[in-house]
Chain A
Amino acid sequence: MVKQLAIYTHGLTKRFDDRIAVREVNLKIPYGEVYGLIGPNGAGKTTLIKLLAMAEEPTQGKIWIYGDRLVPNQPNDRVKGRLGYLPDDFPLYNDMTVWEYLEYFARLYDLPPSRRHKRVREVLELVRLTDKETSLTATLSRGMKQRLSLARTVLHRPVMLLLDEPVSGLDPVARQLFRDIIKTLQKSQITILISSHILSDLAELCTSIGIMEQGNLVYSGPLSELYASAGQQQILVAATGDLNVLKAQLKSSPGVGAIEELPNSSRLRVDFSGTSDQAAELMRSLIKAGIPITEFQCTPGDLESIFLKSGHQKTS
């Protein structure tokens, strides 16, 4: 089974003095998956990623990356070649230019001189920093620094990325740019483990989700299963005329939960716990009631609301 998984951990535990940051985590991530790790601050996400990236030594438990066992205090050369790690504080050398920084890491990753220049150029284009190659890293904005760190992370063509809070503190434009880069990387079939508090980003990028609470991995599985197990989807309904009539009709329908009026639009967001057939029946009943429906859109739910309703918000 170990050979069939990109990441496999067994009983992974990390203790700091009397505090357990990660508790007996059994993680299984198949190849090519984009795995989102969510949980409140202090739940153990960063520690788990650091353990996988060999930045911390486990107190107990074992880790396999692409079938290779991580041995503490050893070089683990095979694993290192496969791994790209982006820490949450994206460390840089402030006295180097963007090009020098990437070329330095290209040398550290033993990229041959004939390919070094080309590869640095490629990753600069990927993260859209070509016009900044002669700038000192200290002069870059936060978003640029994060993109430069991502460029460093993928420089040696790793098959697995560990990204710890890669979009924290970024403005919406920078976040969108970062998401686009991740999607580009996703196409090359690499396995990505990404932690973030911006759950809408994870919902857009991830195929699987893990929820951490108090150092425990309390949920791990495909995103679709999480939506299904939450038993809830949302319906966006728009209509012309009086929305109160629409609200009244919805309230009297089976499966309908909370109704929220979206500001500055004639739309309602409706929590719906029924099946697809029941959603179709709901739409039919609204039309039959003579309500002028202009939009009726089922969405698989909101990851943030599922997470908040799950009650897994305790820190370790």
Chain B
Amino acid sequence: MNFQTLKDSNPQFLREFKSRFQPIYITIIAIASVVFQICLLLWFYKQLPNTTGSSPGIARYVAISSYDGIPGYRGSIHYAFDANRHYLIDWRTWWFDIFHALTWMMFLVLPLGGSFLLLQDIKREISQGTLHLLRLSRQSSQRILIGKILGVPIMLYLAIATLLPVYAIALLFARLSIIAIAIIALFFISACGLLYSYALLVSLTQIPSPGQVFIGLSGIIQGGGLWLWSWWGSRTHAELHYAGYQAWERFSHTRGEIRNFTLISLALLAISVCGTAYAWYFSQKGFYAPTSTRATILNFKIHD
């Protein structure tokens, strides 16, 4: 489906797109993104070690020549030098950390920021009385809500899109496996699906307590995902060098880390998919039931 087809087939998306995709906002997002990327790269550049000194200072980005010990335990690290006795920079770790930081940033901006925007938008439609006019239109609830999901966070999508070139370069130099990237992408998309569906459910059905439970649940799920990220990203240099890279590259490791990582990721994905389906189903019902109470929505009230 190309963009023109999407515009013609989903009037709600067109409305959201036209009201938000304004030159002034595009300019602001582009400038903010460029400034952010420059600042991020400069900050990481400042973390590079002094290659000529007797001590490397922050040793995370110094290349390792050998390691006497078992990763995760005490051992001796031997750093790599060039012919002039200058420390060699471990650019791969440097780019890995940039990739890690950008992933965190994307998780904060898109799933969380987007669901906040959706909540605000539906609340505004309800308070100004326009949501019911949408209900009375010939469009299905799915079309309207998909139009909202695609259109309301459109500027956040743009912001993420502007980060993608640097993200792709970081991925390239960190030399991550395709499977690892696919898992990250899946987790990212499922996080968006889950939080956006819950945002719609909570705003359309106006259910206070279950809504809070769902938000809490989704927070735990996403928190679990982020914890997984922290676990991978915050490991020591040596661990990353010997275990992590192997894991990311070949996606297999004798220590079982990768198996655990995969299992946890799949479990999180499964929970996300079930939660998304649940929230999506009831948000459809909520769309047609403006004054529904918890009882009518959650007890599958049947009308003869």
Contact = CB atoms under 8 A, between A and B. Distances in A.
Interface of A: 53-57, 71-75, 77, 80-81, 83, 85, 87, 89, 91-93, 95-96, 100, 104-105, 107-110, 113, 152, 156
A96 B17 CA distance: 12
| Ranked 5 nearest A-B pairs via Cβ | A107-B11, A108-B137, A91-B129, A73-B289, A110-B138
A71 to B, nearest CB: 6
Contacts of A54: 132, 135-136
A152 B133 CA distance: 10
Interface string B1-41: 00000001001101100110000000000000000000000
Interface string B62-76: 000000000000000
Nearest to A100: B18
A242 B144 CA distance: 71
Contact of A57 (B8, B129, B138, B292): B292
B15 to A, nearest CB: 5
A100 B11 CA distance: 12
22 contacts: A53-B132, A53-B136, A54-B136, A55-B135, A56-B291, A57-B289, A73-B301, A73-B303, A80-B136, A80-B138, A81-B138, A85-B132, A85-B133, A91-B129, A93-B19, A95-B19, A96-B19, A107-B14, A108-B11, A109-B137, A110-B139, A113-B8
B19 A74 contact: no
Contact of B15 (A71, A81, A104, A152): A104
A87 B290 contact: no
Contact of B136 (A74, A85, A104, A110): A85
B251 interface: no
B129 A87 contact: yes
Contacts of B11: 104, 107-108
Given A75-B141, A104-B15, A56 B136 contact: no
Residue with the greatest number of chain B CB neighbours at <10 A, chosen from A53, A73, A96, A113: A73
A110 B9 CA distance: 9
A56 B135 CA distance: 12
A56 B290 contact: yes
B290 A93 contact: no
Contacts of A104: 11, 14-15
B77 to A, nearest CB: 60
A91 B292 contact: no
Contacts of B288: 72-75
B128 A91 contact: yes
Given A83-B136, A105-B137, A109-B137, A73 B291 contact: no
Given A108-B134, A109-B137, 6 more contacts: A53-B136, A55-B135, A73-B285, A73-B289, A108-B138, A109-B138
